[in-house]
Amino acid sequence: MKIISCFIIVTVILISCTKKVAKDPLLGFSDFAMLDSINTAGLYYYKNSSALLSPAGNSPHGSFKLRFNKIGFNALTDGGKLPVGGTMPDGSLVIKDMFEGNTISIHAFMYKRSGSWIWGEIKPNKQVIFSVDRNPSVCTSCHSQGGNRDLVTSFNLH
């Protein structure tokens, strides 16, 4: 009986400890769950191109590649952009992979949930730069400038 009880306790602990990691962002909204979702297959490059984009305007992000999950990608027009005045549907994931040389240095991401964006920045080594738990106002001040494309400023600059 003690062995069964110990097994149940260990199983419960293991399950509760893994809730911060999810292959699908719908299953969790922690920084590490989002990093896990960023690293999954089935993401689509902006304008179907994996070319490195240069920063534009006053962007603090540097050179980058932009990717979307299927939900976000399907909201884009044939020109690869969200129409002016358009909004991304709930479940959209937008990832800006920022580079230093040929190496990804930071993943910046936005995930649309219940009509609002969850934001974050995390390094590939799992160091959190900007947590999903922080107030996103530092980002929205720049992302809300002109273009009216649901806070995705890359559509205005590239």
d(CA 35, CA 15): 19
d(CA 80, CA 73): 8
Does residue 120 contact residue 34 with C-beta atoms inside 8 Å? yes
Q: DSSP state, 52?
A: P
Q: Which domain holds residue 73?
A: 2-157
pLDDT of res. 119:
86
Q: DSSP state, 47?
A: G
Reading the chain (158 residues) residue by residue, the pLDDT tens digits are 666 544 454 444 444 444 444 444 444 678 888 888 888 788 999 888 998 888 776 666 678 899 999 999 999 987 888 888 888 999 999 999 999 988 999 888 889 988 888 888 899 999 998 887 776 555 655 665 666 766 676 655 66
Q: What total number of domains does the chain contain?
A: 1
Task: Select from 91, 53, 50 the least CA-distant residue to 73.
Answer: 91
pLDDT of res. 36:
84
pTM: 0.75
